[in-house]
Amino acid sequence: MEEAHFQALMRGSYVQNFPPQIELIEEGDPSDFLHIVLSGSVELFSSWNRQETSMATVRPVSTFILAATIRDAPYLMSARTLEKSRIALIPSQDVRGVFDIDAKFARAIVAELAQCYRSVVKNTKDLKLRTSLERLAIIFCANRNIPIWHLISSSDWKNAGLRPRSGWRLKT
């Protein structure tokens, strides 16, 4: 990224500390800033018909709601801090301006969006192709760094209604 383009991004940017449980953005609002989590964590969530669900947790160093910034579109999710968090805010208009003129920056943005897209596809496949018992077993093992194979013997797979898949193998 060229120095002049970086300076254009930083011109209106600032870093702010937020306490826990502060709503940073609300679903449906216009994307005024690109948010970058520098420390702490942020929950992305959505609400509908008096119900709420957590969509993802963002940890350092990561952006959130990048697609809304690039497309100048409303937020599709809300976000709130889960703990004390330090967040950089870069005006969306500046992000779009530099995106249009800096190829290296544009490629970095596209790579980030591609990674986010791949995560969405993976999560959608898990929801559509795995049973609730399979998803629960994966979450249980992943949160504890336990390979799922250590919990259930091979003879119990069929009785538990589980189908082993190569995607379940966790790096230990």
**Residues 58-102 pLDDT 10s:** 999 899 889 999 999 999 999 999 999 999 999 999 999 999 999
Distance of CA 25 to the CA centre of its chain: 14
Alpha helices in the chain (DSSP H): 3-10, 66-71, 92-101, 103-129, 132-144, 154-160
In the predicted model, what is the mean pLDDT of residues 9-32? 94
Q: Which of the two residues, 123 and 76, has the higher pLDDT score? A: 76
- φ, ψ at 33 (rounded to 5°): -140, 150
Half-sphere CA count of 113, side-chain side, radius 13 A = 13
Query: Residue 39 belongs to a domain with what CATH number?
Result: 2.60.120.10
Q: How many domains does the chain have?
A: 2
Domain identity same for 15 and 91: yes
pLDDT at 150: 54
The region of weakest confidence among 6-20, 56-70, 111-125 is: 111-125
Domain identity same for 135 and 117: no
Domain identity same for 151 and 68: no
Give the span between the Cα atoms of 154 and 86, in whole angstroms.
Answer: 46
In a domain, 79, yes or no: yes
Domain identity same for 107 and 137: no
Give the span between the Cα atoms of 82 and 91, in whole angstroms.
Answer: 23
Domain boundaries, position 109: 3-127
The fraction of the chain above a pLDDT of 90, given in percent, is 53
pLDDT at 2: 82
Domain identity same for 30 and 91: yes
Tokens 């209604």 belong to 161
In a domain, 114, yes or no: yes
Q: Mean pLDDT, the chain, as a whole number? A: 84
pLDDT at 119: 85
Q: Quick one: tokens of 32? A: 């005024």
Name the burial class of residue 67, with classes exposed (0-12), middle (13-18) and buried (19+) by CB atoms within 10 angstroms of its CB.
middle
Q: Quick one: tokens of 116? A: 């986010």
Give the span between the Cα atoms of 14 and 4, in whole angstroms.
Answer: 18
pLDDT at 84: 97
Report the predicted TM-score, pTM, of the whole model to 2 decimal places. Answer: 0.73
The tens digit of pLDDT for each residue in 128-163 reads 888 888 878 777 777 666 655 555 555 555 555 555
Q: Quick one: tokens of 171? A: 């790096």
